[in-house]
């Protein structure tokens, strides 16, 4: 295999064994703990087992199962795993046995969120606990100070949960002290203001974590692998600092009870810090590795690192530089469970690279749905789509439209044995993704098309560009089935106008480089997604004064919150003025007229040079209507069916191709 980004051929360090305590990993590719929303009633489900089995089968060396609450007060979501009684053991036992069949190790996370309570169990707000009554910013939770008695219960819960997971056959345990959760809250002097033996000095603030570790060792045994997950700085003025994290790790390492440290960044407690829990594409690849190197310098045990490590060459480099001993590639494995085996067998160019869009992974989690991937919707749906089923009868299939949905449909249909030709009217496939990748901080989004096109070509799809399909061409080709994926186009609402001369452009024209007059630009954003926010930032970075008027409560309201927060931060940094709850009404020579969506009052912006409309899309469905009555099978997917997002287009492409 050719050298990749300056790395030697292959990935010798990434695929070398690593011994952690009494366990030897076959390689250093880790799927770190992440909530899948696949638990039910606090227990492991068959769906969760199938999800993790796919990653084990794909060659991961270690799977760290998502957090398990160790006390009733640890229920931070309605779908958290719990390890508070022995009913959890059978599910964990089946999960561990399944993962072990592939030579993959499995650890479990022991968890208490403290004040970081995301949602209620039944609609009523629970009592949140913390070392001190210090509120958080993100969830607006005012916690109750934990009593000594409750501290004792929670500490005992760590040990009891550890015993259960150990009894179920897990190879190791991980105490979650990262992201501003309860152990971190005790470590942090700005959150822990206690004056008893659990607060004050650094030694006292470390007491809770030491007692939790001792409880785990006492109940699960001295030979079980025990690790600590910690943020190397919470990226928050009031959060745990990198220096405080280093000091804690140094002291705990000297105690001799830990077998590894897992390093992350960020905090659940604040909007800015939370971005780093699952960093979007605006953050550089492997950006946490230099921080993990600082912790690795002060501990004697192996160190893992997580944070936008998407490709094997990035992991190999981090290990080669001594920044970590193993790399969590969690979203990379969500996007491509076969990443390890592809990298190890000389097929790294076939890896479906994660683009850190966050839409169907952490985005689904935040919405309360099982996680998936916009590029690989088979993820999270392994019980239905986990194994490719060949078509009973190969058919001739025409796919019309080379956006992400059409490419997915074509690739899967061809993989199942159908003879597939994909037609794209433009000179290149990609659809709206070709626009998205041109916006500030969104370049990586284009990787989705690179990945999908490569999959289609490897499957044998005949890709024809620069060809517009009509009914006559379909009749000439006479396929057995047609999949229409012709996409959408910008919606142009009717505007009140006094025959003004103000230039009015749609967002696509701006992204494509249409000339803009100098001066103040208003972007009217109905959809509240990446388009209006991205165009506003693009124009501001080009030197325009920009006002973004959004027909919603906030800019980017439909985006996953970490992506939205990063984009709003970039827009603010560029000087964009944002007006919420504002609907476009009209424009004249130099004035834009908006209407407050709640009060109905006018909002008038004067001295405007141009108006940019980001008002959603309408279907491009002329071909679909032309084919009405055609005797062959016709299926529609994506925006031509109803304008939505890449996720729905790709999922529908999978579903339609699966049914052919």
Q: Would the pLDDT of 2 be above 80?
A: no
The average pLDDT across 370-376 equals: 98
Tokens for 502, please give them: 């103000």
Q: In degrees rounded to 5, what are phi and psi of residue 450? A: -55, -45
In a domain, 349, yes or no: yes
Summarised one tens digit per residue, pLDDT across range 94-123 is: 999 999 999 999 999 999 999 999 988 888
Beta bridge partners of 548: 523, 578
Helices (H), 321-423: 330-335, 339-344, 362-367, 382-385, 404-415
CATH number at residue 418: 3.40.50.720
**Domain total for the chain?**
3
Active centre residues (catalytic): 181
Summarised one tens digit per residue, pLDDT across range 241-286 is: 999 999 999 999 999 999 999 999 999 999 999 999 999 999 999 9
d(CA 660, CA 654): 10
| Pair (485, 548) in one structural domain | no
Summarised one tens digit per residue, pLDDT across range 501-550 is: 899 999 999 999 999 999 999 999 999 999 999 999 999 999 999 999 99
| Pair (173, 247) in one structural domain | yes
Closest CA to 613 of 487, 489, 486: 489
pLDDT at 497: 78
In a domain, 626, yes or no: yes
Summarised one tens digit per residue, pLDDT across range 125-169 is: 899 999 999 999 999 999 999 999 999 999 999 999 999 999 999
pLDDT at 205: 98
In a domain, 13, yes or no: no
Tokens for 543, please give them: 């030197």
In a domain, 640, yes or no: yes
pLDDT at 499: 64
| Pair (519, 449) in one structural domain | no
Domain that holds residue 629: 388-490+620-659
In a domain, 2, yes or no: no
In a domain, 11, yes or no: no
| Pair (358, 231) in one structural domain | yes
| Pair (277, 315) in one structural domain | yes
pLDDT at 40: 96
The structure tokens 């194994």 sit at 387
Q: Would the CA dihedral through 635, 638, 640, 643 be positive or negative?
A: positive
Q: Would the pLDDT of 6 be above 70?
A: no
In a domain, 9, yes or no: no
The average pLDDT across 358-378 equals: 97
CATH number at residue 578: 3.50.50.60
pLDDT at 501: 84
Sheet strands (E) in 306-404: 326-328, 396-400
In a domain, 12, yes or no: no
Q: Is 0.75 surpassed by the pTM of this model?
A: yes
| Pair (569, 607) in one structural domain | yes
Q: Are 232 and 245 in contact (CB under 8 A)?
A: yes
| Pair (588, 467) in one structural domain | no
* Pairing status of strand 617-619 against strand 488-490: antiparallel
| Pair (371, 328) in one structural domain | yes
* CB count in 10 Å sphere of residue 550: 26
| Pair (230, 360) in one structural domain | yes
pLDDT at 417: 98
Q: Would the pLDDT of 5 be above 70?
A: no
Sheet strands (E) in 266-322: 303-305
CATH number at residue 178: 3.20.20.70
* CB count in 10 Å sphere of residue 651: 23
Please tell me what DSSP assigns to residue 267. B
| Pair (115, 261) in one structural domain | yes
Q: Across the chain, what does the average pLDDT equal? A: 96
| Pair (349, 408) in one structural domain | no
Q: Would the pLDDT of 1 be above 60?
A: no
Summarised one tens digit per residue, pLDDT across range 545-562 is: 999 999 999 999 999 999
């Amino acid at each position: 295999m050719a050298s990749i980004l300056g790395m030697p051929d292959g990935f010798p360090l990434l695929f070398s064994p690593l011994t952690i305590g009494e366990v030897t990993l076959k390689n250093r590719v880790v799927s770190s703990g992440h909530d899948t929303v696949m638990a039910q009633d606090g227990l492991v489900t068959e769906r969760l087992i199938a999800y993790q089995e796919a990653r084990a089968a794909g060659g991961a060396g270690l799977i760290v199962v998502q957090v398990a609450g160790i006390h009733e007060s640890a229920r931070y979501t309605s779908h958290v795993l719990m390890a508070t009684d022995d009913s959890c053991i059978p599910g964990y036992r089946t999960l561990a046995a399944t993962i072990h069949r592939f030579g993959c190790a499995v650890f479990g996370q022991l968890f208490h969120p403290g004040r970081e309570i995301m949602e209620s169990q039944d609609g009523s707000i629970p009592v949140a606990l913390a070392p001190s009554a210090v509120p958080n910013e993100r969830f607006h939770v005012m916690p109750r100070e934990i009593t000594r008695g409750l501290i004792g219960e929670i500490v005992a819960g760590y040990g009891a949960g550890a015993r259960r997971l150990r009894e179920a056959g897990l190879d190791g345990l991980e105490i979650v002290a990262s992201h501003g959760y309860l152990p971190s809250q005790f470590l942090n002097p700005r959150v822990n203001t206690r004056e008893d033996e659990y607060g004050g000095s650094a030694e006292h603030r470390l007491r809770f974590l030491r007692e939790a570790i001792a409880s785990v060792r006492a109940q699960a045994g001295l030979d079980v692998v025990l690790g600590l997950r910690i943020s190397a700085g919470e990226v928050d003025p009031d959060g745990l600092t990198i220096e405080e994290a280093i000091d804690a790790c140094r002291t705990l390492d000297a105690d001799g009870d830990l077998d590894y440290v897992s390093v992350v960044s960020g905090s659940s407690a604040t909007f800015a810090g939370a971005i780093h829990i699952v960093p979007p594409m605006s953050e550089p690849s492997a950006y946490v590795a230099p921080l993990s190197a600082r912790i690795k310098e002060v501990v004697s045990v192996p160190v893992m690192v997580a944070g936008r490590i998407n490709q094997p060459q990035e992991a190999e480099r981090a290990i080669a530089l001594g920044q970590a001993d193993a790399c969590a590639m969690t979203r990379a494995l969500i996007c491509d469970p076969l990443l390890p085996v592809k990298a190890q067998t000389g097929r790294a160019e076939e890896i479906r690279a994660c683009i850190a869009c966050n839409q169907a992974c952490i985005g689904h989690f935040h919405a309360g749905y099982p996680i998936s991937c916009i590029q690989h919707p088979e993820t999270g749906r392994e019980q239905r789509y986990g194994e490719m089923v060949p078509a009973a009868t190969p058919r001739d299939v025409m796919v019309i439209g080379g956006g992400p949905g059409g490419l997915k449909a074509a690739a899967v249909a061809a993989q199942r044995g159908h003879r597939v030709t994909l037609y794209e009217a433009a000179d290149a496939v990609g659809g709206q993704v070709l626009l998205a990748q041109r916006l500030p901080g969104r370049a990586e989004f284009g990787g989705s098309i690179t990945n999908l096109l490569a999959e289609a070509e490897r499957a044998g799809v005949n890709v024809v560009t620069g060809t517009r399909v009509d009914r006559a061409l379909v009749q000439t080709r006479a396929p057995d089935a047609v999949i229409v994926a012709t996409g959408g186009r910008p919606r142009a609402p009717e505007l009140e106008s006094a025959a003004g001369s103000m230039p009015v452009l749609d967002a696509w024209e701006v992204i494509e480089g249409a000339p803009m007059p100098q001066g103040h630009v208003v972007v009217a954003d109905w959809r509240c997604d990446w388009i209006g926010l991205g165009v506003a930032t693009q124009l501001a970075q080009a030197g325009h004064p920009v006002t973004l008027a959004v027909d919603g409560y906030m800019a980017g309201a439909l985006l996953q919150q970490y992506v939205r927060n990063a984009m709003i931060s970039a827009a603010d940094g560029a000087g964009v003025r944002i007006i919420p709850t504002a609907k476009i009404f009209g424009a004249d020579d130099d004035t834009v007229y908006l209407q407050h969506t709640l009060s109905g009052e006018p909002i008038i912006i004067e001295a405007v040079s141009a108006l940019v409309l980001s008002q959603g899309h309408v279907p491009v469905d002329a071909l679909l209507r032309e084919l009405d009555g055609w005797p062959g099978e016709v299926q529609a997917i994506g925006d031509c069916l109803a304008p939505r997002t890449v996720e729905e287009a790709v999922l529908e492409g999978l579903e339609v191709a699966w049914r052919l």
